[in-house]
Amino acid sequence: MSILDAALTLVATCHQRPHPAFSLRERRATEQRIRQQADELQRTAQALHAEIAKRHRAEEALKAHRDNLENLVRERTSELRAAKESAEAANEAKSRFLANITHELRTPLNAILGFSQVLQLGGGLDERQQQATQLIRQSGEHLLSLVNDLLDLSKIAAGRFDILPAEFDPDRFFQAIMGMVRVRAEQKADLEFICDLPAEWPPSIRADETRLRQVLINLLDNAVKFTCRGQVTLRVRFLSPSRLRIEIKDTGVAMSEQQMARLFHPFEQVGDAQQRALGTGLGLAISQHLVRLMGSEILVKSQRGEGTQFWFDLEVGAPISQI
Ligand X SMILES: Nc1ncnc2c1ncn2[C@@H]1O[C@H](COP(=O)(O)OP(=O)(O)OP(=O)(O)O)[C@@H](O)[C@H]1O
Pairing state between β 230-240 and 191-196: parallel
Q: Is 269 in the site for ligand X (CB under 6 A)?
A: yes
Q: Is 234 in the site for ligand X (CB under 6 A)?
A: no
Q: Least distance (Å) from Mg ion to the CB of residue 239? A: 26
Q: Is 252 in the site for Mg ion (CB under 5 A)?
A: no
Q: Is 231 in the site for ligand X (CB under 6 A)?
A: no
Cβ-based nearer residue to ligand X, 83 or 278: 278
Q: From the CA atom positions of the chain, what is the Rg in Å?
A: 42
Q: Least distance (Å) from Mg ion to the CB of residue 276? A: 11
Say how many residues touch ligand X, by CB under 6 A.
Answer: 24
- Which SS3 state, helix, strand or coil, does residue 300 take? strand
Q: Is 207 in the site for ligand X (CB under 6 A)?
A: no
Cβ-based nearer residue to ligand X, 4 or 298: 298
DSSP state for residue 244 in the 8-state scheme:
E
> Taking a C-beta distance cutoff of 8 angstroms, is the pair 302, 255 a contact?
yes
> Taking a C-beta distance cutoff of 8 angstroms, is the pair 147, 109 a contact?
yes
Indicate which single residue of 139, 231, 242, 275 sits in contact with ligand X (rule: CB under 6 A).
275
With CA atoms as reference, report the closest residue to 169 among 198, 200, 195, 205: 205
Indicate which single residue of 116, 133, 214, 218 sits in contact with ligand X (rule: CB under 6 A).
218
Concatenating the DSSP letter of every residue in 186-211 gives HTSTTEEEEEE--SS--S-EEE-HHH
Q: Least distance (Å) from Mg ion to the CB of residue 323? A: 36
Q: Is 95 in the site for Mg ion (CB under 5 A)?
A: no
What does the per-residue mask of binding to ligand X show for 101-140, with x meaning CB under 6 A? ----------------------------------------
Q: Is 140 in the site for Mg ion (CB under 5 A)?
A: no
Indicate which single residue of 4, 255, 298, 316 sits in contact with ligand X (rule: CB under 6 A).
255
Indicate which single residue of 38, 109, 236, 263 sits in contact with ligand X (rule: CB under 6 A).
263
In degrees rounded to 5, what are phi and psi of residue 207? Answer: -165, 175
208-237 positions binding Mg ion, by CB under 5 A = 218, 222
Query: From the list ligand X, Mg ion, none, which binds 255 (C-beta under 5 to 8 Å, kind-based)?
Result: ligand X
Query: From the list ligand X, Mg ion, none, which binds 214 (C-beta under 5 to 8 Å, kind-based)?
Result: none
Concatenating the DSSP letter of every residue in 61-115 gives HHHHHHHHHHHHHHHHHHHHHHHHHHHHHHHHHHHHHHHHHHHHHHHHHHHHHHH
Cβ-based nearer residue to ligand X, 35 or 213: 213
267-306 positions binding Mg ion, by CB under 5 A = 279, 283
DSSP state for residue 19 in the 8-state scheme:
-
> Taking a C-beta distance cutoff of 8 angstroms, is the pair 137, 113 a contact?
yes
Say how many residues touch Mg ion, by CB under 5 A.
Answer: 4
Cβ-based nearer residue to Mg ion, 25 or 267: 267
Indicate which single residue of 7, 156, 215, 223 sits in contact with ligand X (rule: CB under 6 A).
223
Q: How deeply is 245 buried, as exposed, middle or buried, from its count of CB atoms within 10 A (0-12, 13-18, 19+)?
A: middle
> Taking a C-beta distance cutoff of 8 angstroms, is the pair 199, 239 a contact?
no
- Residues forming a β-bridge with 304: none
Cα distance between residue 156 and residue 216, in whole Å = 18
Interacting residues with Mg ion (CB under 5 A): 218, 222, 279, 283
Interacting residues with ligand X (CB under 6 A): 149, 218, 222-223, 226, 250, 252-253, 255, 263, 268-271, 275, 278-285, 308
